Structure 1
């Protein structure tokens, strides 16, 4: 089989409408059902010749994700999966949790809104938001970590990746104080994130070292590919926003997970249910 189109949802009945467009030309269709989500996998002897835009539109209207692996990932499992963290591997944003601890939630929200409106780029907005945390005692980091909500299926995704020999990396515009414990918690292999500067047990309101922005995320993806001796075409990148677009552009399969419109448009592959282990529908048969 040379091509696959995969529909994913946490509501099996919602798969019918987009599936009706895929079934007529499929060589076969297989179902994959867990207790939390379901996938219908359509196999084609050649490439799918139908209207993928129409499939995606109908799928989106029904809350269904669409995955269309191509190249090596159409027939082989991935060798590397790289995931964003805030609002991807977690359902929370670390900067928002810290802002709550600092009593600066409104200020941080305003800066975030300006960034989303295009008035600030990610690096500018990160520095502006971190400045709001100046003077916060490091004890707040643990308080915020306890409030972090891990996305359902994160550990299961890592375990499934390891079963097929793939590594999982976390790359984040968030902070090491959150990302490194999370890496251990879900069993991921490596991580890159920003370091909050601390002096005398208090945050200085600055980021130490180079910022992990959208360009840096792509750089880390390339670095991990090189270190593992694999190819970009066998990589999956998972994220939810504009800061993920550069790694989306070079990954073998970019996936927008419960994502903002800009990420959905760039990735064209989507998961809309809040189970990140649905990514394994790409390779599980």
Structure 2
């Protein structure tokens, strides 16, 4: 594999896309309000992410897998995302996404937005419906940071040539591990910890910061 010049790793929900996917799935179970409140608390860093995710996924039990098609129709890419990924590629960089969300949605969304590699949680399924549990190890803050380091090593990218972009408390370790951490559309604790804060909800604003 040819070494990349640099690596940009984004969060997915409320960063790569404008939605929180778990809330869209919760709509299908009629439980959006409770899941939304729990998601916001987790993104502010008020509760443990993995514990919160397990409780929120439990609320999705019995949602049919067929609902994913409706969820996909509601996904809104963040403005500027394709301009950003095109700019990264034109400068010899690679785009990764690591998400506390779900492969079931990201596998469809990521390629069309110019993402080169991605990692997320998977939902357990039985008899065509969600079981209410996560299948495998949860992608939490530590896993996000580890993914950034692993991908950089695989691509021959020095840590200083990595950029992490996120909005929630579970992005802070990844942002700290990167050469540059950017808070995008972020919660107060994330804005306070980030080297750079991008305010408008337009990922094209990041382009001038690329190497």
What TM-score range do you get, normalising by the shorter chain? over 0.9
Runs ≥4 residues deviating over 6 A: none
Normalised to the residue count of structure 2, the TM-score between the two structures is: 0.94
Inter-partner Cα distance in structure 2 for 1:118 and 1:254 = 17
Q: Provide the secondary structure at the position in 2 that maps to 1:181.
A: helix
Give the gaps of 5 or more residues in structure 2. Answer: none
CA RMSD of aligned residues (A): 1.6
Give CA-to-partner distance per residue, 1:84-137, whole Å, 9 cap, x none.
000001111000101111101122134335546765300011000000010110
Which of 126, 144, 150 is equivalent to 1:223? 150
Inter-partner Cα distance in structure 1 for 2:59 and 2:8 = 33
Distance 1:187 1:108, change over 3 A: same
Distance 1:137 1:84, change over 3 A: same
Task: State how 1:253-268 maps to structure 2 within 5 Å.
Answer: 253-268=180-195
Inter-partner Cα distance in structure 2 for 1:118 and 1:89 = 20
Q: Provide the secondary structure at the position in 1 that maps to 2:121.
A: strand
Alpha carbons 2:44, 2:187 under 8 Å: kept: no
Give CA-to-partner distance per residue, 1:241-271, whole Å, 9 cap, x none.
1010001111011000011111111113011
Which residue is 2:201 aligned to?
Answer: 274
Which of 103, 121, 124 is equivalent to 2:48? 121
Task: State how 1:85-104 maps to structure 2 within 5 Å.
Answer: 85-104=12-31
Inter-partner Cα distance in structure 1 for 2:92 and 2:121 = 28
Which of 89, 104, 117 is equivalent to 1:177? 104
Q: Provide the secondary structure at the position in 2 that maps to 1:82.
A: strand
Alpha carbons 1:78, 1:283 under 8 Å: kept: no
Give the gaps of 5 or more residues in structure 1. Answer: 1-76
Matched, 1:196 2:123: yes
Inter-partner Cα distance in structure 1 for 2:121 and 2:99 = 7
Inter-partner Cα distance in structure 2 for 1:149 and 1:172 = 16
Count of aligned residue pairs for this structure pair: 208
Report 1 or 2 for greater relative contact order, CA contacts < 8 Å, sequence distance ≥ 6. Answer: 2
Inter-partner Cα distance in structure 1 for 2:64 and 2:98 = 25
Q: Which has the larger radius of gyration?
A: 1
Inter-partner Cα distance in structure 1 for 2:189 and 2:107 = 28
Give CA-to-partner distance per residue, 1:151-195, whole Å, 9 cap, x none.
011111111100011000010000001111121111210000000
Normalised to the residue count of structure 1, the TM-score between the two structures is: 0.70
Inter-partner Cα distance in structure 1 for 2:90 and 2:35 = 40
Inter-partner Cα distance in structure 1 for 2:185 and 2:108 = 23
